């Protein structure tokens, strides 16, 4: 599903974010991506999303070479990926429901379908009762769960999550992980970037460890 072939990313002379990184994530696989701050985790996520283009090597997602995509095809590529951001990135002038509906509106789903899916996604993260609330009225943990609902609402082929449980207590973290597990079981590939040792030890999945832009372990 996701294939890194000797991928390098250089932001300038001596500023190498990734060096010859190679790994593969299969369909229906959940993989953790870990490493210290600045190790290159966010770069990996940004490259998969097509927000940046790798300086060397090949990055293939769903049999598509990302650097070959045109501007409009890149937009279609991003619609197949659900993203959870560490800083939530919610639109504060829209309700929780409207935030979750955003990927569906972009993909131009019929309104009736949008309403049905938004309610289902919010129900999954336990926030159906907050559908009409503005995001500002929610706690940081709740905002994180809104971000997760937004990432899964369009039933993407790939889910990328940057510290998805960072603001959640162990019980809610387990709850969110069970949501990801449900998606994994139906063939969605999930890459979770996390520092959370509890999360990594509690849920046994393959872990990619980055160190100064190099892949140190893949086990």
Partner 1 sequence: MPNSRPSVPSQAKQSLMSLLLQRHADAARQTVSRIRSGPLTASLISLVIAVAVTLPASLLLISLNLQTHLGKLNETSEITAYFPSDLPENRLSEISEHLHTQFVGIEVSYVSTALALAQLNEVGAFQLILDSLDNNPLPAALIVRTDEPSVATARKIEKVLLNLAEVELVQLDTLWLQKLLAWLRLLDSLTSALTIIVVGGLLLIIGNTVGSSVQNKREEIRIIKQFGGTDAFVRRPFLHFGFSLGAAGGILACLLTAGFGHQLGIAAKALALLYQADFVVVGLSYGQNVTMILLSASIGGLAAFFAVSRKIASFGL
Q: Is the Cα dihedral 76, 80, 84, 90 positive or negative?
A: positive
Helices 140-152 & 170-185 angle (0-180, nearest 10): 0
Count of residues touching partner 1 (by CB under 8 A): 37
Residue 128 lies near partner 1 (rule: CB under 8 A): no
Residue 89 lies near partner 1 (rule: CB under 8 A): yes
User: CB of 218: closest distance to partner 1 in angstroms?
Assistant: 22
Residue 80 lies near partner 1 (rule: CB under 8 A): yes
Among residues 49, 128, 133, 200, which is the contact residue for partner 1, using CB under 8 A? 49
Residue 87 lies near partner 1 (rule: CB under 8 A): no
Residue closer to partner 1 (CB basis): 161 or 199: 161
Among residues 26, 38, 56, 105, which is the contact residue for partner 1, using CB under 8 A? 105
Residue 109 lies near partner 1 (rule: CB under 8 A): yes
Q: Is the Cα dihedral 124, 128, 132, 134 positive or negative?
A: negative
Q: How many CA atoms lie within 13 A of 177 on its CB side?
A: 25
Residue closer to partner 1 (CB basis): 85 or 180: 85
Residue 115 lies near partner 1 (rule: CB under 8 A): no
**Cβ proximity of 150 and 100 under 8 Å:** yes
Residue 12 lies near partner 1 (rule: CB under 8 A): no
| CA proximity to 105, closest of 150, 61, 146 | 150
Residue 187 lies near partner 1 (rule: CB under 8 A): no
Calpha distance 172→181 (Å, rounded): 14
Question: Can you list the positions of beta strands (E) in 45-172?
Answer: 56-61, 64-65, 81-84, 158-162
Residue 60 lies near partner 1 (rule: CB under 8 A): yes
Which helix (H) or strand (E) covers residue 31, if one does? strand 30-35
User: CB of 85: closest distance to partner 1 in angstroms?
Assistant: 8
Q: In what order do the strands lie in the sheet with 30-35?
A: 81-84, 158-162, 189-193, 30-35, 206-211, 214-218
- Which residues contact partner 1 by CB under 8 A? 49, 51, 60, 62-65, 68-73, 75-81, 83, 89, 91, 93, 102-103, 105-111, 113, 150, 154-155
């Amino acid at each position: 599903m996701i294939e890194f072939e000797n991928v390098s990313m250089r932001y300038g002379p001596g500023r190498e974010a990734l060096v010859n990184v190679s790994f593969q994530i299969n369909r229906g696989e959940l993989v953790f991506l870990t490493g210290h701050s600045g190790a290159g985790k966010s770069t990996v996520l940004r490259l998969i999303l097509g927000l940046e283009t790798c300086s060397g090597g090949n990055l293939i997602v769903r049999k598509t070479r990302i650097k070959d995509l045109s501007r409009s095809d890149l937009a279609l590529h991003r619609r197949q990926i659900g993203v959870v951001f560490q800083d939530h990135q919610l639109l504060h002038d829209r309700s929780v429901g409207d935030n979750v509906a955003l990927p569906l509106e972009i993909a131009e789903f019929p309104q009736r379908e949008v309403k049905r899916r938004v309610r289902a996604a919010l129900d999954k993260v336990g926030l159906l009762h907050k559908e009409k609330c503005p995001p500002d009225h929610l706690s940081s943990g709740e905002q994180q769960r809104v971000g997760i609902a937004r990432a899964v609402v369009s039933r993407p082929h790939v889910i990328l999550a940057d510290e998805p449980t960072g603001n959640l207590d162990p019980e809610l973290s387990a709850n969110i992980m069970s949501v990801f597990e449900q998606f994994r079981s139906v063939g969605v590939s999930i890459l979770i970037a996390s520092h959370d040792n509890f999360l990594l030890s509690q849920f046994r999945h393959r872990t990619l460890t980055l160190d100064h832009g190099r892949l140190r372990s893949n086990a």
